[in-house]
C-alpha cells in the first residue's frame, strides 16, 4: 500500500512496485526513463531491442495513468523520438495538455540538427478536473547590460515586474553543467526543472511519484516544496545516494508562506496567483516600464543553496563528506523583519569599468532624507 512507500525511495523494478499503488491515488507522476541509448548506468543495461523497449514503456505509462488521481497530471521526459511513441500510448488513456520543449543547449560545435532540446509530455488524467497553476519565470536579460532581451516596443507599460508566464518552450533552465552539482549518475536532471513542474501541478502535501528516481531529483524537489514523494529505482546505489541527500533536505523553498523555486539564490519560478503577495518582498520601480533596464531585486538576500552532489559513490565508498548545506537557511522565517512597501531604498544604475568595457549594474541604495 502507499503508506509503506510514502516519503521513501524504494529499490526495485518500477513495474512491480507500481502495482502496489492503488488506482487514482497520486497527485502527480513524473517519469524520466532510460533513453535506450546505451547510457552508462551503474547496473541497468540501456540497450533493448526497439519493440521490447516500446512494449516495456507502454506498460509503465499505463501504470502511471492508472495510479494518477482524476485531478492529477502525468509528465514524461525523453528525447523527441521516444515521445512520439509515448504520445500515441497516452492519447488512448489521458488528455493531452502540452509538449514542453526543454532547450538544453549543446556544445557550440557538432553536426547540424543535432538534438538541442528534450521534450516533456504533459497529460491530464481528466482535463476537466485537472489541478493546474499558471507560473511565471524572470524576464530574459542580456548577459552584460542586463536589459530585457525582448523588445516590447510600445507595450512596455504592460510588462509584468517579475517576468512572463512560461510558454511551452523552456530556455532558462540549463542541464547540470558543473561536476560539483552532479552525482555519479549519467543523466541527472536539475532540481529547479522538477520544482517548476511541481509548482505548476500540485499543492503542499500532495504526493509526487517518480518510477525512475535516479539520484532523487524529483524527491528532493518535492521535499523542498513541502510535497510528499515516492521514488523507485532498480539500482541500490542510486537509492543510497538519494537517501543520503534527502537526509539534509528540508521544506525551505519559500518566501513568506508561498512556495517558490530558486536557482543560485534567485527565484526562477513562482505561481501567478502568488504575485500579489510576493511583490511586497521585492523592490519594484514605480514606473513598470523601467523593468526594461532594471531587474527587480529581493529586499533581503536569500541563502538557498543548490544542493551539491552526494559524495557517496556508486561503488559504495563514502568519502565522509556529506552534502554541504551549512549556508542553507530556512527562507524568510523572519518575515517580520521585512517591510513590505518599504520604499526607503531605491535602485540606481552604476557604471562599472570591466576590462575596458563599461558595464552597468543595478545597485540598491538608501534614499536620502527628504528625497521622494
* 75 interacts with ligand SAM by CB under 6 A: no
* 14 interacts with ligand SAM by CB under 6 A: yes
* 181 interacts with ligand SAM by CB under 6 A: no
Q: How far apart are alpha carbons 53 and 245 in whole angstroms?
A: 31
Closest contact distance (angstroms) between CB of 66 and ligand SAM is: 16
Closest contact distance (angstroms) between CB of 220 and ligand SAM is: 9
* 212 interacts with ligand SAM by CB under 6 A: yes
How far does Cα 88 stand from its chain's mean position? 26
Closest CA to 62 of 102, 38, 91, 37: 91
β-strands 345-354, 297-298 pairing: unpaired
**10 Å Cβ neighbour count for 29?**
31
- Span 237-266, contacts to ligand SAM by CB under 6 A: 238
| Residue 154 dihedral angles phi and psi, to the nearest 5° | -80, 5
Lookup result for grid cell 524529483 = 218
Nearer to ligand SAM, 41 or 75 (CB): 41
- Span from 213-221, 266-274, 312-320, 323-331 in contact with ligand SAM (CB under 6 A): 213-221
Which residues are within 8 A (CB) of 267 and not within 5 positions of it... i.e. 6 or more apart?
Answer: 138, 162, 255, 260, 261, 298
Grid cell digits, residue 353: 569599468
Cα-only R_g, the chain = 22
Q: Indicate which single residue of 27, 32, 172, 195 sits in contact with ligand SAM (rule: CB under 6 A).
A: 32
Which residues are within 8 A (CB) of 364 and not within 5 positions of it... i.e. 6 or more apart?
Answer: 283, 297, 345, 346, 347
- Span 106-135, contacts to ligand SAM by CB under 6 A: none
* 215 interacts with ligand SAM by CB under 6 A: yes
Nearer to ligand SAM, 13 or 257 (CB): 13
* 41 interacts with ligand SAM by CB under 6 A: yes
C-alpha separations of 201 from 5, 130, 227, 281 in Å: 21, 8, 11, 24
Q: Indicate which single residue of 189, 208, 260, 291 sits in contact with ligand SAM (rule: CB under 6 A).
A: 189
- Span from 86-94, 145-153, 182-190, 265-273 in contact with ligand SAM (CB under 6 A): 182-190
* 214 interacts with ligand SAM by CB under 6 A: yes
Report the residue number whose CB is nearest to ligand SAM. 214
| Residue 53 dihedral angles phi and psi, to the nearest 5° | -60, -45
* 217 interacts with ligand SAM by CB under 6 A: yes
Q: Indicate which single residue of 2, 7, 8, 44 sits in contact with ligand SAM (rule: CB under 6 A).
A: 44
How far does Cα 166 stand from its chain's mean position? 13
Can you tell me whether residue 277 is helix, strand or coil?
Answer: helix
Closest contact distance (angstroms) between CB of 212 and ligand SAM is: 3
Nearer to ligand SAM, 18 or 268 (CB): 18
Q: Please give the residue ranges that form the binding site for ligand SAM (CB under 6 A).
A: 13-14, 32-34, 41, 44, 185, 187-189, 211-212, 214-215, 217, 232-235, 238
Amino acid at each position: 500500500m502507499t503508506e509503506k512507500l510514502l516519503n521513501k525511495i524504494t529499490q526495485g523494478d518500477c513495474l512491480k512496485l507500481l502495482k502496489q499503488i492503488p488506482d487514482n491515488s497520486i497527485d502527480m507522476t513524473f517519469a524520466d526513463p532510460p533513453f535506450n541509448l546505451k547510457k552508462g548506468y551503474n547496473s541497468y543495461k540501456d540497450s533493448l531491442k526497439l519493440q521490447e523497449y516500446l512494449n516495456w514503456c507502454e506498460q509503465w505509462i499505463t501504470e502511471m495513468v492508472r495510479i494518477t488521481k482524476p485531478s492529477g497530471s502525468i509528465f514524461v521526459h525523453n528525447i523527441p523520438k521516444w515521445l512520439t511513441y509515448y504520445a500515441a500510448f497516452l492519447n488512448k488513456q489521458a488528455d493531452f495538455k502540452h509538449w514542453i520543449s526543454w532547450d538544453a543547449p549543446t556544445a557550440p560545435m557538432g553536426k547540424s540538427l543535432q538534438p538541442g532540446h528534450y521534450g516533456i509530455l504533459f497529460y491530464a488524467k481528466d482535463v476537466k478536473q485537472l489541478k493546474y497553476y499558471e507560473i511565471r519565470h524572470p524576464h530574459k536579460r542580456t548577459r552584460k547590460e542586463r536589459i530585457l532581451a525582448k523588445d516590447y516596443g510600445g507595450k512596455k507599460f504592460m510588462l509584468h515586474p517579475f517576468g512572463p508566464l512560461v510558454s511551452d518552450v523552456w530556455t532558462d533552465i540549463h542541464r547540470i553543467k558543473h561536476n560539483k552539482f552532479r552525482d555519479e549518475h549519467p543523466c541527472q536532471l536539475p532540481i529547479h526543472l522538477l520544482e517548476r513542474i511541481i509548482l505548476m501541478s500540485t499543492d503542499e502535501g500532495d504526493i509526487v511519484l517518480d518510477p525512475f528516481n535516479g539520484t532523487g531529483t524529483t524527491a528532493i524537489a518535492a521535499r523542498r516544496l513541502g510535497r510528499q514523494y515516492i521514488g523507485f529505482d532498480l539500482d541500490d546505489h542510486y537509492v543510497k545516494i538519494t537517501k543520503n541527500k534527502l537526509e539534509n533536505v528540508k521544506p525551505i523553498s519559500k518566501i513568506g508562506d508561498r512556495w517558490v523555486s530558486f536557482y543560485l539564490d534567485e527565484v526562477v519560478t513562482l505561481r501567478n496567483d502568488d504575485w500579489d503577495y510576493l511583490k511586497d518582498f521585492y523592490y519594484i520601480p514605480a514606473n513598470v516600464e523601467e523593468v526594461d533596464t532594471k531587474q527587480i531585486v529581493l529586499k533581503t538576500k536569500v541563502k538557498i543553496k543548490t544542493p551539491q552532489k552526494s559524495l557517496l559513490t556508486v561503488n559504495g565508498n563514502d568519502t565522509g563528506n556529506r552534502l554541504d548545506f551549512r549556508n542553507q537557511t530556512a527562507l524568510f522565517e523572519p518575515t517580520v523583519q521585512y517591510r513590505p512597501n518599504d520604499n526607503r531604498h531605491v535602485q540606481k544604475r552604476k557604471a562599472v569599468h570591466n576590462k575596458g568595457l563599461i558595464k552597468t549594474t543595478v545597485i540598491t541604495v538608501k534614499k536620502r532624507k527628504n528625497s521622494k
